[in-house]
């Protein structure tokens, strides 16, 4: 497949062949999760069926519990509220898309700054990256929600900042930091011999980076980047805690309007199913790409 495909397995390549492939696997997972900044889900098709089973079961129990005929059945209530909840889900998707775009754009620049030869640039970008990687997502979200203005005045142009845009920025910050780490990690993962070979062929540093190093990095970065997207999509539910009208919030409001605690589980499992339906294809695609682009890190 590619030039690294035939490299001997890790334990054979070291001076001390003490440990078995399990160690290499673990080390690879640890690196992957460190880059994504959060443990990765392992979605499988059967999880979708389980969720559906939970939904049906809990709705059935809710039916049995309510008993009183004048009340709507749990299923009818769910169908009734589904459009409102799905409307919220659109926000989740929009937030995840935008946050990923912003985070990737800024994070890529930040990641390249981390391999700069200038110590202040390197140190500064390292600090920013670490700062936003270490802050809990929920806290960053609260921060942006309450401290960003609702609109920016740039002379005659006014850029409005609705809630969901603020939440997007709040989620883009940790994404940015993690993309920065992914970029740095990918560049660092290439053998230094490549830099030296390029230098001996009279490539400038910029040429080496753009024409030799980065093209190889894209392949390595794609799977962790997609993993990060999956994590981000699931994290968009955190926006409910700060009051954005996304799916969890809409579900909470629907439950408040219905005011029937037995609907709690069917409604929330419906939320989970929506997220599963969206994330599962992405997870499958990521695994395929991972296998296709497998390189020994």
- Residue 173's closest CA among 221, 136, 147? 136
Considering the rule CB under 8 A, would residue 150 count as an interface residue with other proteins?
yes
**Range in contact with other proteins (rule: CB under 8 A) among 35-43, 195-203, 205-213, 284-292:** 35-43
Nearer to other proteins, 168 or 198 (CB): 168
Interactions with other proteins, residue window 221-260 (CB under 8 A): 234-235, 237-238, 241-243, 245, 250, 252-257, 259-260
Nearer to other proteins, 104 or 250 (CB): 250
**Distance separating alpha carbons of residues 241 and 237, to the nearest angstrom:** 8
Interactions with other proteins, residue window 2-21 (CB under 8 A): 10-11, 14-16, 18-20
For residue 31, the cross-strand partners are none
- Contact with other proteins (CB under 8 A) among 6, 8, 69, 153: 153
Q: Note the maximum CA span of the chain.
A: 83
**Distance separating alpha carbons of residues 111 and 65, to the nearest angstrom:** 55
- Contact with other proteins (CB under 8 A) among 1, 3, 22, 45: 22
- In three state form, how does the secondary structure of 143-166 look? HHHHHCCCEEEECCEEEECCHHHH
Contact 267, 251 (CB under 8 A): yes
Closest separation between CB of residue 215 and other proteins, Å? Answer: 26
Closest separation between CB of residue 180 and other proteins, Å? Answer: 11
**Distance separating alpha carbons of residues 248 and 256, to the nearest angstrom:** 12
Closest separation between CB of residue 56 and other proteins, Å? Answer: 15
How far are the Cα atoms of 110, 111, 127, 188 from residue 124, in angstroms, in the given order? 9, 11, 5, 18
Considering the rule CB under 8 A, would residue 296 count as an interface residue with other proteins?
no
> E strands along 94-187, which residues?
151-154, 157-160
**Distance separating alpha carbons of residues 109 and 125, to the nearest angstrom:** 9
**Range in contact with other proteins (rule: CB under 8 A) among 184-192, 203-211, 219-227, 265-273:** 265-273
Closest separation between CB of residue 145 and other proteins, Å? Answer: 8
Considering the rule CB under 8 A, would residue 151 count as an interface residue with other proteins?
yes
Nearer to other proteins, 149 or 215 (CB): 149
Write the binding mask 106 to 145 for other proteins: x where contact by CB under 8 A, - elsewhere. Answer: -------x------xx-xxx-xx-xx--xxxxxxx-xx-x
Write the binding mask 180 to 209 for other proteins: x where contact by CB under 8 A, - elsewhere. Answer: ------------------------------
**CA-based torsion, 274, 275, 278, 283: positive or negative:** negative
Interactions with other proteins, residue window 266-285 (CB under 8 A): 268, 271-272, 275
**Distance separating alpha carbons of residues 240 and 179, to the nearest angstrom:** 24
């Amino acid at each position: 497949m590619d030039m690294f495909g035939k490299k001997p397995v890790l334990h054979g390549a070291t001076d001390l062949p003490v440990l078995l492939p399990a160690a290499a696997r673990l080390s690879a997972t640890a690196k992957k999760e460190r880059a994504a900044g959060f443990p990765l889900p392992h979605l499988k098709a059967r999880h979708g069926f389980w969720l559906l089973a939970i939904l049906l079961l809990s709705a059935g129990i809710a039916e049995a519990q309510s008993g009183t005929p004048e009340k709507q059945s749990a299923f009818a209530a769910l169908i009734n509220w589904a459009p409102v909840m799905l409307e919220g889900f659109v926000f989740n998707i929009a937030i995840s898309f935008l946050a990923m775009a912003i985070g990737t754009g800024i994070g890529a620049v930040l990641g390249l700054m981390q391999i700069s030869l200038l110590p202040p640039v390197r140190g500064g970008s390292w600090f920013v990256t670490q700062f936003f990687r270490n802050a809990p997502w929920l806290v960053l979200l609260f921060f942006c929600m309450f401290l960003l203005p609702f609109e920016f005045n740039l002379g005659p142009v006014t850029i409005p900042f609705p809630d969901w845009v603020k939440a997007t920025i709040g989620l883009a910050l940790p994404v940015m930091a993690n993309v920065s780490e992914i970029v740095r990690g990918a560049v660092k993962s290439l053998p230094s011999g490549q830099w030296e070979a390029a230098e001996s062929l009279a490539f400038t540093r910029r040429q080496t980076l753009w024409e030799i190093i980065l093209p190889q990095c894209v392949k390595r970065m794609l799977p962790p980047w997609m993993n990060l997207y999956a994590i981000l999509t699931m994290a968009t539910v955190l926006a409910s805690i700060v009051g954005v009208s996304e799916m969890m919030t809409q579900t909470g409001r629907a439950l408040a309007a219905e005011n029937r605690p037995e609907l709690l589980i069917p409604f929330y499992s419906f939320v989970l199913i929506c997220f599963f339906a969206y994330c599962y294809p992405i997870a499958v695609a990521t695994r395929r790409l991972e296998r296709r682009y497998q390189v020994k890190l």
